[in-house]
Amino acid sequence: MSDCIFCKLANGEIPTEFLFEDDNVVAFRDTNPQAPVHVLVVPKAHYDNFVDGVPAETLASMEAAVRAVTERCGIAESGFRCIMNTGAAAGQTVMHLHMHVLGGCDLGEGLLPA
């Protein structure tokens, strides 16, 4: 999608530092962090949300990105939260599939980023 901010970030049209990249996904820090570690895992191809026919290879890449990012950011052992919102009623504000990876503090109830 030509006007999708996550497509532009994932494909390098808007510069950002990738913490992880493979053929299917990238991971980068959220510009409005809700925790000390707040990373977004974003497919390079556009999918509106989790139930938009996402190929198994992309989902596997998302899992690999979470593993790599949590190790790199030092939260693999202490614990972290992964969130994928689907649709506006669930809080999804960018209609491009993405996963929030949050950690680095006690993640009590009420922390639900869009």
Is the CB of residue 28 less than 8 Å from the CB of residue 69? no
**105, two tokens:** 């503090």
Sign of CA pseudo-dihedral 114, 81, 38, 6 = negative
Question: Residue-wise over 59-92: b if at least 16 C-beta within 10 A, else e?
Answer: bebbebbbebbbeebebeeeebbebebeeeeeeb
Catalytic annotation, pick one of 38, 46, 96, 98: 98
100 catalytically annotated: no
Positions marked catalytic: 98
